[in-house]
Amino acid sequence: MIEPGQTVAVAVGSRGINSIRQIVKTTVDFLKQRGAEPFIVPAMGSHGGATAEGQREVLAGYGITEETMGVPVQSSMEVEVIGFTAAGIPVHVDKNALSADKVVLINRVKPHTGFRGSIESGICKMIAIGLGKHVGCSRLHQEERAVFSNVLASVAEVFLDNGNFAFGLAVVENAFDQTYLVKALVKEELLEREKELLVQAKSLLPALLLPKIDVLLVEQVGKDISGPGMDPNIIGRHSAFSEVVGYTGPSIERIIVLDLSAGTHGNATGIGTADFITRKVLDKIDFTSTSANQIAARNPAGARIPITLDTEREAVIAAIKCCRHIDRNGPCIVRIKDTLHLGEIWVSENMLPLLAENKLLEIID
Instruction: Say which amino acid occupies 157.
Output: E
Using pLDDT thresholds of 50, 70 and 90, give the confidence band for residue 67. Answer: very high
Alpha carbons 305 and 308: distance in angstroms, whole number: 8
pLDDT of residue 46: 87
Instruction: Say which amino acid occupies 129.
Output: I
Q: Which of 104-113, 129-138, 171-180, 349-358 shows the lowest per-residue confidence on average (mean pLDDT)?
A: 349-358
pLDDT for residue 73 is more than 90 = yes
Q: Which of 160-174, 183-197, 344-358 shows the lowest per-residue confidence on average (mean pLDDT)?
A: 344-358
H or E stretch covering 42:
strand 37-42
Q: Give SS3 for 214.
A: strand
H or E stretch covering 354:
helix 352-355
pLDDT of residue 248: 84
| DSSP string across 258-326 | --B-GGGTT--TTGGG-SEEEHHHHHH--HHHHHHHHHHTT-GGGG---EEESSHHHHHHHHHHT-SS-
Find residue 81's DSSP bridge partners. 92
Alpha carbons 121 and 137: distance in angstroms, whole number: 14
Cβ atoms of 10 and 166 within 8 Å: the answer is: no
| DSSP string across 46-113 | TTGGGSHHHHHHHHHHTT-SHHHHSS-B-----EEEEEE-TT--EEEEEHHHHHSSEEEEEEE-B--S
pLDDT for residue 144 is more than 80 = yes
Residue 106, CA distances (Å) to 40, 92, 270, 298 in order: 11, 18, 24, 26
- Tell me the fold of 7-203: Rossmann fold (3.40.50)
- Report domain extents, the chain: 7-203, 212-355
Residue closest to 187 by CA, chosen among 110, 105, 118: 105
Alpha carbons 160 and 146: distance in angstroms, whole number: 24
Q: Which of 286-295, 334-343, 348-357 shows the lowest per-residue confidence on average (mean pLDDT)?
A: 348-357
Q: Give SS3 for 205.
A: coil
pLDDT of residue 2: 92
Using pLDDT thresholds of 50, 70 and 90, give the confidence band for residue 175. Answer: confident
Dihedral sign computed on CA atoms, order 189, 202, 295, 59: negative
pLDDT-above-70 percentage for the chain:
100
Q: What is the mean pLDDT of residues 35-57?
A: 94
Question: Going by DSSP bridges, is the β-strand pair 212-218/333-336 parallel, antiparallel, or unpaired?
Answer: parallel
Cβ atoms of 205 and 111 within 8 Å: the answer is: yes
Cβ atoms of 308 and 282 within 8 Å: the answer is: yes
pLDDT for residue 90 is more than 90 = yes
H or E stretch covering 136:
helix 133-140
